[in-house]
Amino acid sequence: MPLETPTRILVVDDDDAFRESVCAAIARDDAMVLAAQVGNAEGARQAIAGGEFDVALVDLGLPDGNGIDLIREIARTRPDADVMVVTVFGDEAHVLASIEAGATGYLLKRSLNDTLGATVRELRAGGSPISPVIARQLLQRFKKDSPTPAVVDDGGLSEREREVLLFIAKGFTVGEIANMLHLSAHTVATHVKHIYRKLAVHSRTEAVFEAGRMGLL
Amino acid sequence: MTRGLRVLVDLARALPAWARACASPFALVLGIFASGLPGAQGLGAAPAAASTPMSQTISRAEFCMAPGLADTLPDASCGWQTVELAKVWHSSRQDVPLVDAWYKLRFHLDAVPERSLAMYTVAFNRSGRVFVNGNLLRELGAMRDPLPLNWDRAQYLVLPAMMLRAGDNEIEIQQRIHTYRGESGWLAPVRLGSEDELRPIWQRRVFWQSDIVRLLGSCTFAIGLLMLGVWLGRRRDSMYFWFGCMALSWALQSVDSYAEMPPLPPLVWERVVVCMPVLRGVLMLMFVLSYGGMRRPVVATVAWSYFLCGAVAMFSGSMPPVGMDLWFLGFLVASLYFLYLQVLVGLRRSRVEGVLLLCAGTLDMALSAHDLVLFSEHTWADRFYLAHYSAPLYLFVIGTILVRRFTESLSAHENLAAVLEQRIDEKAAELERNYEQLVEARRNEALALERTRIMSEMHDGIGSQLTMALSLVRQMDREHDPERAGEDGRVATVLRESIEDLQLIIDSLEPVENDLLTVLGTLRYRLQDRLGKSGIDLHWNVVDLPPLPMLTPHSVLSILRIVQEAFANCLKHSGADRIAVTTGLQGEPGVDEMAHIVIVDNGRGIDLSRGAGRGLENMRRRAAALGGLLKILSQAGRTEVRLEFPTLRPG
């Protein structure tokens, strides 16, 4: 994607060396520009309030706060921005919690140098990464939650989305799925992002519903 | 009894013949009976021809009404007159309760017979004494007030030979009746003959007229008690109550046909007997309403009021004769309506039931009408009361229907119980399943909690530290040798592999829902970048597998390590540019089913003759721990690593 406005990246991580290497990776890539880099939640809040970014890389474990809260705040105040959670293992527990909070992508810390540019471009273009375990958990999540009365009907998964998740859970790559379903790889990745957004809405709805039930609203 | 009924009878007799054989079966049968029942008529009548020389019918007698009660034959001043038998008489005296009349019957014997003679008459009302040639032979019933209930009985007497004489003989008969309500006395023609000839005739008549009624009456009584018993157990089902009352009222009424003495004072008893048909009609109505589940409170109230008004008027003696007539007339009309209701109810359940009820009800009504007519004639007749036969039949039909209904509901109840039991069993099984699921869920929850804890330890602890170390080392590497930026040095590689191994352990703990493809897919996902960088084309030839219960975190880790090792061999040493992963199942599910994972590359092959390296040995060991085995076929251009393992959870 040449000659487009570079994507502004906000980096939130308490690991200085990591932050430095991210900044280096951003600096190497013309399509990205560093918006801000902060090492704690307080700094992150100010940066979020400033709002001058397109993609936020957020580490979950911050010395003075929880990354999940930051993700939620960004999702609320900057719905057009993308949040990528930075994780060590990309494990289901961390990733799903982030997606529920509003994240639409994630990065493995150790391979960040290699993948940051491609992942950010894909994300800005509307596609999200997904692992088989997360796909399976998403299927499970929507199936399990479907009988609960939602205050706002999020519609659940479409048939196509369900199909995509099922293939991913079986280990097929986005490219293979695109072939099988006669779609572009990008469309498949877009489906994934939609599913992530649905899960976030779903979770918010559920939270509202739960709160209502508990008499908080 | 009543002028009104006589009017009815006259009406019936005045009906033209076509009307008698007319529209409704009821009217037809009623017509037949009102005009006299031919079948019953001849039962007691003797054939005209005598079967023995001595057999003769005396149909003429000397008759006189005694001025008072006298135990001896009145003299000529009594005013004897010759009358034809049957003779019917009554007294207009109201000052005495009882009044007598005398008959003298003459007959001739050529010689004193060797054996006793028998004397038989179809009708004799009411008590009396029989003398032969002036000597008392026998009393026919008690002579005191109240007189016994033998007003419609046939009489049979044996005249001992020693009381007879050659030539003219005379039988003197004293007959005593009540004076109230205009009771009549009567004597039907008297037959003389041998005992052998007359006894069977008499016995047959007694059997049909009295014995069988006694038998049926007893049965009806028992059925009535039984039904009341059923009702006591099931108060809600009032039909059993009404049916029981109906049966008892019939049993009571039938007493009149066989008892010696009235169970109540004669006047009261007579009124009870007269009221009984109307009471029975009302009880029948109540039964039909209850049986059919109909709610006709107005009809029921009217019927009861009708009955009670008449009964009260009758027992208080204030019922005028015309009132009594209308009472019975109304009852007869209402009976048609009851019959209609009853057939309606019967048809609602089944055609057979409706027809049965219609037949039995019609017959009963017709015979009752016949009896009413007979009763209203209040005189001798060579016919007897018939409703005693139809009523038990009627009750029997209804009883059968009730019993059928009872057994039906009983079996329905039993079926219901069986269904209920089955449902309970199902529920119990379901509960058990739910409980097991709950236990399983709890266990999974506990495992998940533990897993989350370990994950977060690894993530925030050793994982973060290793990652931090890796970034530091890479940073140092970059500073030290900027030319090699992007390529890991030795320390960085060790760190990266450590993280990758940790990653494998963490992946083995991920929830994969027992899906082998998710396990393999996870590994593929992790290796994708590296495979891509090495220019290796991965063919994912997997088939969907059913959930494998053996995929515990432990076995998942074993499989991941084996497959990872196979991939690592391809990546590091083989120089392959194509790897195919295949999955499949063999054997019988639940018995010896084996899953297999086959990884084939087109590399230069492994030299197996050099003895297995540490990597291969580890793979075999892990395969054995899975209860499976590892097969490796290698040649230049094709290396196949085949892992087979049982799908059942070990143990």
Residues 6+ apart with CB under 8 A from B163: B132, B133, B135, B137
Q: Which domains does chain B have, with CATH numbers?
A: 3-22+26-38+213-413 (1.20.1070), 56-205 (2.60.120.260), 513-651 (3.30.565.10)
Nearest chain B Cα to A137, which residue?
Answer: B511
Instruction: List phi, psi (to 5°) of B587.
Output: 90, 180
Nearest chain B Cα to A25, which residue?
Answer: B486
Check B467 against A110: CB less than 8 A apart.
yes
CA triplet B464, B468, B471: central angle to 5 degrees?
A: 140
Nearest chain B Cα to A23, which residue?
Answer: B475
Residues 6+ apart with CB under 8 A from B483: none
How far is B353 from B397, CA to CA, in rounded Å? 9
Q: Report yes or no: A52 at the B interface, CB cutoff 8 Å.
A: no
Check B468 against A18: CB less than 8 A apart.
yes
**HSE-CB for B336 with a 13 A CA cutoff:** 10
Contact between B505 and B463 under an 8 Å Cβ cutoff? The reply is no
Of B464, B520, B521, the CB nearest to A88: B464
Of A17, A169, A172, the CB nearest to B468: A17
Instruction: List phi, psi (to 5°) of B459.
Output: -65, -55
C-alpha distances out from residue A89 to A60, A68, B442, B506, B523, Å: 12, 16, 26, 8, 13
A102-121 residues touching B, CB cutoff 8 A: 109-111, 113-115
Q: Report yes or no: A15 at the B interface, CB cutoff 8 Å.
A: yes
Whole-number pLDDT of residue B319: 78
Check A88 against B471: CB less than 8 A apart.
no
Q: Which amino acid is at B112?
A: V
Of A17, A133, A172, the CB nearest to B522: A133
Check B525 against A93: CB less than 8 A apart.
no
Which helix (H) or strand (E) is B476 found in, with range? helix B464-480
* Residue to substitute from B455, B505, B525, B581, interface A, most A β-carbons within 10 A: B525
pLDDT in tens, A94-129: 888 898 888 988 888 877 777 888 888 888 888 888
How far is A151 from B439, CA to CA, in rounded Å? 31
Instruction: List phi, psi (to 5°) of B601.
Output: -125, 165
Q: Which residue from B216, B285, B288, B282 is spatially nearest to B252, judged by alpha carbons?
A: B216
Which helix (H) or strand (E) is B103 found in, with range? strand B98-109
Contact between B302 and B245 under an 8 Å Cβ cutoff? The reply is no
A177-216 residues touching B, CB cutoff 8 A: none
Of B460, B525, B529, the CB nearest to A115: B529
Contact between B591 and B564 under an 8 Å Cβ cutoff? The reply is no
Of B467, B506, B544, the CB nearest to A91: B506
* Residue to substitute from A22, A59, A92, A96, interface B, most B β-carbons within 10 A: A92
CB under 8 Å, gap of 24 or more: what pairs does B389-393 form? B389/B212, B389/B216, B390/B360, B390/B363, B390/B364, B390/B366, B391/B216, B391/B220, B391/B250, B391/B254, B391/B280, B391/B364, B391/B367, B392/B216, B392/B219, B392/B220, B392/B250, B393/B360, B393/B363, B393/B364
Q: Which residues in chain A have Cβ-Cβ distances shorter than 8 Å to B511?
A: 92, 133, 136-137, 140
In chain A, where the domains are located: 7-125, 132-213
Alpha-carbon dihedral of residues B325, B329, B331, B334, nearest 10 degrees?
-160
Of A92, A110, A131, the CB nearest to B470: A110
Whole-number pLDDT of residue A1: 45
Residues 6+ apart with CB under 8 A from B104: B61, B62, B63, B73, B80, B170, B171, B172, B173
Q: Report yes or no: A94 at the B interface, CB cutoff 8 Å.
A: yes
Q: Which amino acid is at B500?
A: E
Model confidence at A155: pLDDT above 60:
no
Q: Which residue from B255, B265, B313 is spatially nearest to B97, judged by alpha carbons?
A: B265
* Residue to substitute from A19, A29, A88, interface B, most B β-carbons within 10 A: A88
pLDDT in tens, A5-42: 889 999 999 888 888 888 988 998 888 999 999 998 99
Q: How far is B414 from chain A (nearest CA, A)?
A: 38
Q: Which residues in chain B have Cβ-Cβ distances shorter than 8 Å to A110?
A: 467, 470, 496, 499
CB under 8 Å, gap of 24 or more: what pairs does B76-80 form? B78/B102, B80/B104
Instruction: List phi, psi (to 5°) of B513.
Output: 55, 40
Which tokens in the block code for residue B58?
């005396």
Q: Which residue from A90, A53, A98, A61 is spatially nearest to A196, judged by alpha carbons?
A: A98
Q: Mean pLDDT, 10 residues at a time, over chain B (651 residues)? A: 45 41 38 39 39 74 83 83 88 84 92 89 88 90 80 86 91 88 84 92 89 88 91 88 91 85 83 87 89 88 92 85 78 85 84 84 84 71 76 82 84 90 93 92 84 78 84 81 73 87 85 86 87 87 85 87 88 85 86 89 77 77 90 87 84 51
Does CATH number 3.40.50.1220 belong to domain A7-125? no
Does CATH number 1.10.10 belong to domain A132-213? yes
Contact between B391 and B370 under an 8 Å Cβ cutoff? The reply is no
Check A89 against B520: CB less than 8 A apart.
no
- CA B385 to chain centroid, in Å, comes to 36
pLDDT band (50, 70, 90) for residue A209: low
Check B468 against A15: CB less than 8 A apart.
yes
* Residue to substitute from B456, B459, B500, B582, interface A, most A β-carbons within 10 A: B459
Check B518 against A140: CB less than 8 A apart.
no
Q: What is the DSSP string of A85-141?
A: EEESS--HHHHHHHHHHT--EEEEGGGHHHHHHHHHHHHHHT-----HHHHHHHHHH
Q: Report yes or no: A156 at the B interface, CB cutoff 8 Å.
A: no
Q: Report yes or no: A163 at the B interface, CB cutoff 8 Å.
A: no
Alpha-carbon dihedral of residues B380, B383, B386, B388, nearest 10 degrees?
60
Whole-number pLDDT of residue B34: 40
Q: Can you tell me which residue has the tokens 């000839």?
A: B197
How far is B108 from B168, CA to CA, in rounded Å? 4
Q: Report yes or no: A141 at the B interface, CB cutoff 8 Å.
A: no
Nearest chain A Cα to B448, which residue?
Answer: A93
Which tokens in the block code for residue A89?
């293992």
Q: Which residues in chain B have Cβ-Cβ distances shorter than 8 Å to A113?
A: 474, 486
Of A61, A131, A171, the CB nearest to B540: A171
